[in-house]
Structures are given as structure tokens and as C-alpha cells.
Amino acid sequence: LKEGTEKVMPSQCPYCSVQCTMDLIEDTVFTNKRFKAKPDKGNPTSGGRMCIKGANAHQHVYNDERITHPLLKIDGEFVPVPWELACEYIAKQFQSIQHFYGKDSIGVYGGGSLTNEVTYLLGKFARVALKTKHIDYNGRFCMSAAAAASNAAFGIDRGLSNSLQEIPDADCIILAGTNIADCQPTIVPYFRQAKKNGAFIIVSDPRETATTKLADLHLKPKPGTDAMLAHGLLKILIDEGFTDSEFIASRTNGYTQLAEDLTSISLQRVSDVTEVSIEDLKTAARKYGDAPNGFVLTARGVEQHANGSYAVGQFINLVLATGKIGRYGNGFGSITGQGNGQGGREHGQKADQLPGYRSIEEYKDRKIISDLWGIDECDLPGKGVSAYEMIEKMAQGEIKGLFVMGSNPAVSNPNGVYTEHALRQLDYLVVADMFLSETARMADLVLPVSSYLENEGTMTNMEGRVTLRKAAKPVPKTIKHDWEILCDLAKYLGAGNAFSFSSAQAIFEELRVASKGAKADYYGISYDRLSHETVCWPCPDEQHPGTQRLFDSEFAHADGRAVFSPLELEKALSEAMTNEEYPLLLTTGRLMSHYLTGVQTRRSPDLLKRDKEPLLHIHPDTAACYRIEDNELVELKSSKGTVIIRASFTTAIRKDTLFAPFHWGDSQSVNRVTQPRLDPVCKMPEFKRTAVAVVPLVEK
């Protein structure tokens, strides 16, 4: 650019599930910054807002550490190699492993930040080019509990049942286990407006956060007791006559038994388990029950538990019992975490799903997809295992080769020490990433990928709103797009015919057909439409306006009715996890300035400056018991491993609970201490509750 000239690049933030759009402006006259990001006022979700992450996202794209050539590890050192050689090498290695150990000895591990097109293609790549059943993704740690509960209750899984624009008209909102002010900051104004309009906001979180400042009532349940909390609220709604009998009778199944079973629980017991007072439980239930319009929204605080899907189901019960869904200003939602957490779980990179949320076990769905892919239905692999179970299969030697795209499993999986050991056991590890992430460093071969500024494709936000992110600038000559890499590799694996795509748009056209008539129906959505509007699925034809609010007339089960989650009290009772050796509970989460395992945000100087290392939040009274001083390095220990982390005093946390963010790797990775306890239904690990001990690093 000549001095004084300006280049405007319309783009979309690569991070959270709001998917804010912006103009990135490159200008040589800015004195201390080459780039400025200007939020897009026309975006229907973010409405001209953007947070610090979006404003600085471009910094990682221009970071000097970015990989620019395929890197082959020779004698422990990475050496740049041509693309042809890299692809040939990968194909030969994977084919050789499969020759000796079978097709399923190769795994594919994807991510919830990939575009819909890449998500779709990655599923096809695993099942058609590699012919393996082992594919799953990091969204298993993000949305799987809410997805399982929504499918069970509503027959379909979409983050929010309504558009966010309805939030300001709600009279009561329950935010359970979600810290939107730090994690999805640009949606907070919807809630502020609701409050201005008179809404009563209830936040349930063991910590005081920027979100709890919005609350009229802050419930601080003991970590892991959310299901019991929801039982208590439902009991009060029933006992005090806040239920909507007409809605229950005409639109739901399973209520009578649930109501009867709930009589066995006393409010005193709920209060004892959750450590929330009966008075607060009653206030919360009465405010929600009495409100003409209301929303219940959950997130990882409720979901990342070994009973996560059960707990979400109990929060959905509140919505169904009061008839607060299927009409304006009322609904349920799970606030998605990753940028394409929604689309990422719809198009086939989940072990048990085919594109459009089709089932990999149903003959009809398998036949539709195998016909589209030009293979025999019998040759379409079956159901694989979840993300963490794939790690277990690597450790056990069943999976011997792994292809990772858009993820950093070494840091994001629970039981980090074991996970690292499992990845090191592999005969061949290939990672496609922009940087040498903690996982990529372990790889035998690393492939460089394009950034969000270069990569065209669609994303689906938490509302089920599909948006088109156009490329803001060309991809550097020595780097390829994710979809190009998959097409090239497929060719070397002998499956080139099924991967003869020349653009992301061409892949989307196939995705549309694959989803036609399925639950997540994108058939009516096209790049042409998306170039001037956003569309919420389901959208069955090009004349259809899209669906901003679900369930107005029916739910997605065959009989059109929603299903209450039954009471299974043993799932709601908090196991006494702590003991003499590990007396405290650790909960993990996000910071506003970082995203996922921090591979990109730790390489954005303005974001790293804000939070340069993980801090362990600890109550000063708790710290005093262990002779820990503020700002001191400590050892955080569980039965699985140890993390060295700096203590940070705060009274905004329960005395029995510690908090640490998960955005750092190596010895600072908090997942070195988390447990691989999985929800039996959805396989979500229990990130939000680990029994730990904390001691000063220096003996006193």
C-alpha cells in the first residue's frame, strides 16, 4: 500500500459463536497500528458491536510464527518440504498403517471453528477417502451435553430456539452456568435491554463474574449440583401452581410421571445439596413462573459434567412445564462456545452423525448420503467413538495414525498427561494448523492452513443463523485452504473423483443436497442469498425465509410433541469427590481475551498483553489455610497430574472452589489435572469439577 492509502477488508471474527462482522482497515498512516477493525452495524446478531478478541484477531494472521510450508519432521527437526511430497508421504504412511492394522486404525480429529464446508468435507474425507469410522471433534467438549438433551426433549438440536432479538422482550431470564459477559460479550446488550424493560435476571454460577453483575438474583450452587437446582425450581413451580396445564397436555409427553416422582424430593434436600437457600430457590422459581415471557439459557457451567446432558434436560423441563417456548419472547437455548460450534456439529464430523444431523445408524440416512457420495451403503463406515475415547484408543494402540485439522487435542482434552502420552504413541501424526501448536509440535508432518482473512466459507452462529464469510485477502502462495488440502490428500489416497471441488461454494452446493429434508435443512440457503442476507435453518427451499423461532406449532419428534426428561435422582446427587488428599474443587473456563487453547490468541500481542499467563482464582481465606500468598506460583495437583500456576486472590469465588482458565499449554495447561469422567450419554468430560490440592511451589 502507498502511504496514506486505505484498504478495507470486510470480514468476520474467527472466534466465538456470535460471529460478529467487521471491516478490517489496513492503512499506512496509522501511527502505531497498521490495522484497525471497525464493527459492522448491519449484522443482525452483533448489531455494530465487537469485543477485544475480534478487534485484534488479525494480529495472529500476521504473526511471524505462522507456518508457511509443509513441515516434515526428520531426526526431531521440522524441515520444509513441497506440498506434493507431503501429500504423497501422508497417503503412503496412512495406507501402510491401514494395510497392517485395518481401516479403523486411522483417526480424524476436527474442530468447531472450521467452516461448514470444511466440516462437511472432513466427514466425507474420513469415511470415503480413509474409509475409517473414527472421526470426532473438539465440539464434543463444547456442545455435546446440550445437543443430547435438546434432541431428547425437542427432537432437534439448535443452540437457541429463538433469535436473540426476542431477548429484550422477556420478563424473566435464567442464565445457568454461562458467563456471556466474558465469553460472548457482544450479546450482553440484549440482556441489558431486557433489564431496562423490567426483566428479572437470575444468574446461576459458583463465581461472581462480569455476567453476575447483570443479575437481580445470583445463585451460587456448589459445582456439579445444577441438576438438583433445576429439580428444586421445578418442584416449586409445580407446588405453587405456575405450570401451564394446557401446554403440557397439548404439546408434551412425560409430565405426569415426572411430577409424581418429584414429590419424593424435599426442598430442604435440594438446598442441602446445592447450598442455595430455600428462600433464593423460591424467589427464582416464582419470578420465572410468574413472568408472562421467559428464557432459560445454559452453557458449559451446567453442561461440562459427567451428568451434563441430564442437567440440561432438567433446565429444559422448566421451559416445558411453564409453556415458555414456541412463542415470541419465550424459549430455551444453550449458548454455543466455538465460532462454528453449531455448524460444526451439523455436517458430519461427529462420530455418530452424517451431514444435516442425519444418523449414521439409520439405513435411510446412510443410503441418501452414500448415494450422494457415489459409494455403496455397505461401504459407508458405521459409528465411531467420541473425542476422548479416540485418545484412549490411541493409548491402547488401536488407533495408530491421526489426522488433526482445526484443533489442539493435546491441550483441550482432559487428563492432559495421558493425552500427551497417547498422541506420542501414534505411528504417524499429521496436523493441519497455522502454527506449531502443542499438538503440531508432536506431529510427524504439519500442513499450513489459510486464516480467517483468506478462507471463504459459511459459519452458523448460536441462533442457527448461517452467514457467509468471504475471503478478505488472497491466501499466501505456499499455503492452502483446508478444503484444498483434503481434496489433494483424497487424490493421493485414490478417492480423487469424489473430491473434485474447485471452491468452497462447490462444496456448499453438495452440503445443501446432503441436508435436503434432514433436520438441519440448508437446501434453501445459497451463496447468492448469503451475499446479501443471513438465514436461520431449517430452510427447505430458496423461497423460504428461514426459521428464526422454532417450535411455534410443533416439536421435531415424530408426534410433534416435546418430551420431559424423567427424574433420575442418582444422577442429580453430587458425588463427594473431595477427600483429605484433594480437598478443593477446581472449575475451569474462559477469559475474554483468549479463545480455546490460545493457539491464535496467545499469538496476538494485544490480547496476550491483557492476560499473559493463567491465574488460579482462590479465596484469600482458602489461601491462608495453605500458606499461599497472592501472586505466588503454586502447584495445583489432582490424581492425574500437576500444573504450575500463579495464585490470584479473589473473594468472588466460593471458599471450596478454585478457578483456572484453559487457554494455555504445556506445564500451564490446566487440563493436566482434569479427570476423564465422561457423561455416559454424550461423552462430555467433567471439566467443571475436579478434586484438587494446592500447595506453594516453595516449601514454607
Q: What is the DSSP code (8-state) at residue 395? A: H
- Cβ-in-10-Å burial (0-12, 13-18, 19+) of 371 comes to exposed
Q: Per CB under 6 A, does 115 bind ligand SF4?
A: no
Helix intervals (H) in 450-503:
482-492
Shortest spacing between CB 14 and ligand SF4, in angstroms: 7
For β-strands 457-460 and 465-469, DSSP reports them as: antiparallel
Q: Per CB under 6 A, does 184 bind ligand SF4?
A: yes
Shortest spacing between CB 43 and ligand SF4, in angstroms: 9
Q: Per CB under 6 A, does 19 bind ligand SF4?
A: yes
Q: How far is CA 120 from CA 345, 453, 457, 481, 508, in A?
A: 10, 20, 11, 14, 9
Q: Per CB under 6 A, does 18 bind ligand SF4?
A: yes
Shortest spacing between CB 46 and ligand SF4, in angstroms: 6
For ligand SF4, the closer CB: 16 or 525 = 16
**Rg, C-alpha atoms of the chain:** 24
For ligand SF4, the closer CB: 654 or 663 = 663
Alpha-carbon 494 to chain mean position: 33
Q: Is 571 helix (H, G, I), strand (E, B) or coil?
A: helix
Q: Per CB under 6 A, does 20 bind ligand SF4?
A: yes
Q: Per CB under 6 A, does 15 bind ligand SF4?
A: yes
SS3 of 155-210: CCCCCECCCHHHHHHCCEEEEECCCHHHHCHHHHHHHHHHHHCCCEEEEECCECCC
Q: Is 384 helix (H, G, I), strand (E, B) or coil?
A: coil
Q: What is the contact mask toward ligand SF4 in residues 317 to 346, using x (rule: CB under 6 A)?
A: ------------------------------
Please choose, out of 8-16, 198-206, 276-284, 671-679, the segment that lies near ligand SF4 by the rule CB under 6 A.
Answer: 8-16
For ligand SF4, the closer CB: 50 or 170 = 50
Residue 456 near residue 470, CB atoms below 8 Å: yes
Shortest spacing between CB 460 and ligand SF4, in angstroms: 13
Q: Per CB under 6 A, does 406 bind ligand SF4?
A: no
Q: Per CB under 6 A, does 469 bind ligand SF4?
A: no
Shortest spacing between CB 412 and ligand SF4, in angstroms: 18
d(CA 223, CA 214): 21
For ligand SF4, the closer CB: 229 or 459 = 459
Shortest spacing between CB 508 and ligand SF4, in angstroms: 21
Contacts 24+ apart (CB under 8 A), 362-371: 365/518, 368/514, 369/514
For ligand SF4, the closer CB: 187 or 490 = 187
Q: Per CB under 6 A, does 387 bind ligand SF4?
A: no
Task: Tell which residue, 573, 618, 548, has the closest CA to residue 269.
Answer: 573
- CA trace torsion 108, 470, 515, 160 (10° rounding): 90
Please choose, out of 10-18, 63-71, 382-390, 646-654, the segment that lies near ligand SF4 by the rule CB under 6 A.
Answer: 10-18
- The residue number whose beta carbon is nearest to ligand SF4 equals 54
Shortest spacing between CB 599 and ligand SF4, in angstroms: 15
CB atoms < 10 A from the CB of 470, how many?
15
- Return the C-alpha cell found at 311: 442437567
d(CA 156, CA 158): 7
Name which position in 107, 112, 139, 185 contacts ligand SF4 (CB under 6 A). Answer: 185
Shortest spacing between CB 187 and ligand SF4, in angstroms: 7
Q: Per CB under 6 A, does 657 bind ligand SF4?
A: no
Shortest spacing between CB 618 and ligand SF4, in angstroms: 27
Go through the chain and tell me how many residues it has: 700
For ligand SF4, the closer CB: 370 or 600 = 600
End-to-end CA distance of the chain: 59
For ligand SF4, the closer CB: 48 or 476 = 48
Q: How many residues lie near ligand SF4 (CB under 6 A)?
A: 14
- Cβ-in-10-Å burial (0-12, 13-18, 19+) of 573 comes to middle
Q: What is the largest CA-CA distance in the chain?
A: 75
For ligand SF4, the closer CB: 314 or 600 = 600
Alpha-carbon 597 to chain mean position: 12
CB atoms < 10 A from the CB of 532, how many?
7
Shortest spacing between CB 483 and ligand SF4, in angstroms: 22
Q: Per CB under 6 A, does 24 bind ligand SF4?
A: no
For ligand SF4, the closer CB: 91 or 187 = 187
SS3 of 310-358: HHHHHHHHHHHHCCCCCCCCCEEEECCCCCCHHHHCCCCCCCCEEHHHE
Q: What is the contact mask toward ligand SF4 in residues 38 to 57, using x (rule: CB under 6 A)?
A: --------x---xx-xx---
For ligand SF4, the closer CB: 584 or 596 = 596
For ligand SF4, the closer CB: 19 or 243 = 19
For ligand SF4, the closer CB: 51 or 312 = 51
Shortest spacing between CB 39 and ligand SF4, in angstroms: 8
For ligand SF4, the closer CB: 186 or 574 = 186
Q: How far is CA 655 from CA 276, 281, 585, 618, 628, in A?
A: 15, 21, 9, 8, 14
Shortest spacing between CB 495 and ligand SF4, in angstroms: 35
Enumerate binding residues for ligand SF4 (CB under 6 A).
13, 15-16, 18-20, 46, 50-51, 53-54, 184-186
